[in-house]
Amino acid sequence: MLEVKNLSAAYGQHPSLNDVSINVGSGEIVVILGANGAGKSTLLRAISGICEGKVSGRVTLSGDSLTGLSSDAIVEKGVALVPEGRGIFGDLTVKENLLLGAYSSRAREAERENLERVLSQFPKLQERQSQIARTMSGGEQQMVAIGRAMMSAPEILMLDEPSLGLSPLLCKELFQNLTHVRDLGIGVLLVEQNAKQSLAISDRGYLLENTRITYENSAAALANDPAVQRAYLGAGSKTSDKPSKRTSAPTEAMKRIRTAVDPTPRRSADQQIGGSIDDLVAIATKTSAEAPRGPSKETAIAAKQLAHSKIDVVLKDIEQAAKNARNRSSSEVQKLRPTPSNVSVEADNALPPVIEVYKRPRVEIYRRRPSGQFERD
C-alpha cells in the first residue's frame, strides 16, 4: 500500500502542496480531482522523486520509506509514473520503448513475462511491435507509455492526465485498459480532469483544491455529490427538456398590450389603398406589357445626329490644340538655340576636363635564401 502523510511542496516562496495525505491499496484505482494549478501533478512528481521544488512529508510503500530517495530508487521500490504528455521515445519502435521500461533490477529477471503480460493487455501493441512510436495515434502512444511503466513490474502505477488530447472513443478504451491493470493487482493513482469517466472506473477519490485535500469518499459518493457535480461534472442550471411551443396567432394578452400601446385601429392594405392589391398588380402587368420595348425611329435618328455633331466638335478641338503645340515648340527651340557669340564665351569659360588615371599597383616578391637572407625576385 502507498501511504502519503503530510506531504508539502513549494517552489521558492510559492506553496504547491500543503499537508496532503492519501493512500492507495493494491488492486485499487484512486482518482485525484482538482482544477488546474491545484497541485495534482506536483503530488505525483513529489511521490516519484522528480519534483524540482522543496518537498517535506512522508511517503511509504508497504512500510518502506520512499522519502528522500532518487527517482530510479523509487522505481526499484515499485512505484512507476506515466507523465503528462506520455514522454515516449518517438524514434524507437514500440518493442524498444517497452523494453526500456524493464531497466530496473527488479524487472530484468521477469522481462519476458512482463512483456507478454503487457502485450496481452494491449493487443494493438502486439500487432505493432516493430512500428516507430511517433507514427502511432495519440491513444496508441498512451498505451505504449502505460505498457513501458508496467514493464518495471510496479506495485503502484501513477498516471498524470492520461486522456489529455484523446478523442472520446480513445478515452473510453484507455479507461477500460486501466481496469485490466487493476485486475492484475496493481494499485493505480490517477490524476484526471475527465471526472465522469475516471469516477466510473475508480474505487475512491480525493478532491484537491488550493493545494489541500478537501474531501475524500468513494467514487460513487463523489459522483452523486451535488457540489462535485457542479464543479467537475458540468451539472449547472437545469433547463426543461421539452421545447417551447410557439403559436403564430397572438394571444389575447398580447392583443391587449398592443391596444394599450397604440390605440389606433389597424387597417388592412386594401383599406389603405382604397382597392384590391390583386387588381393593382393585374393593371401594372398589363401596362408593362403594352408599353413600347424600345425608342421610336425618329428618336433614334435624332440621337445619331447629335452624336455625330459632338464628335465633329471634339475633333476640331484636338486639331487646333495640336497646331498650337507645334507652333509653340518651334518658337521655344529658336529661343534656346545658342548664338555664335554665346558659344565662344561659354567655350572660353569652360573648365578643363577631368581625366582619371588608374595606376596598376606594383607587387614585389622576395625569396628567402638558404642562409636566411631575403633577395628581391
Tens digits of residue pLDDT in 185-205: 999 999 988 888 899 999 999
Question: What pLDDT is recorded for position 47?
Answer: 94
Mean pLDDT of 37-46: 91
Distance of CA 146 to the CA centre of its chain: 25
Which of the two residues, 267 and 146, has the higher pLDDT score?
Answer: 146
Q: Which CATH number fits domain 2-232: 3.40.640.10, 3.40.50.2300, 3.30.70.870, 3.40.50.300?
A: 3.40.50.300
Average per-residue pLDDT for the chain: 78
303-307, 329-333, 341-345, range with the lowest pLDDT: 341-345
Tell me: the pLDDT tens digits for 234-260? 665 444 344 444 434 444 444 444 444
Please write the tens of the pLDDT for every residue from 317-339: 888 888 887 777 666 656 555 55
So what's the pLDDT on residue 4? 94
85 pLDDT exceeds 90? Answer: no
Other C-beta atoms closer than 10 Å to the C-beta of 119 total 18
As given in the structure block, the three cell numbers for residue 138 are 495519440
pLDDT digits 0-9 by tens, 268-284:
555 555 556 666 667 76
Quick one: average pLDDT of 5-21? 92
Buried-exposed string 228-245: b where 16+ CB fall within 10 A, e elsewhere: bbebbbeeeeeeeeeeee
Is the pLDDT at 346 greater than 70, yes or no? no
The contacts found for 205-208 with CB under 8 angstroms, 24 or more apart, are 205/30, 205/31, 205/32, 205/33, 206/22, 206/30, 206/31, 206/32, 206/33, 207/33, 207/34, 208/20, 208/32, 208/33, 208/34, 208/38, 208/39, 208/40, 208/43
What's the average model confidence in pLDDT over 329-352? 54
Asked if residue 136 has pLDDT above 80, the reply is yes
Percent share of the chain, pLDDT over 70: 68
pLDDT of 122 reads: 85
pTM of the model: 0.60
Residue 80 pLDDT? 93
Res 128 pLDDT > 50: yes
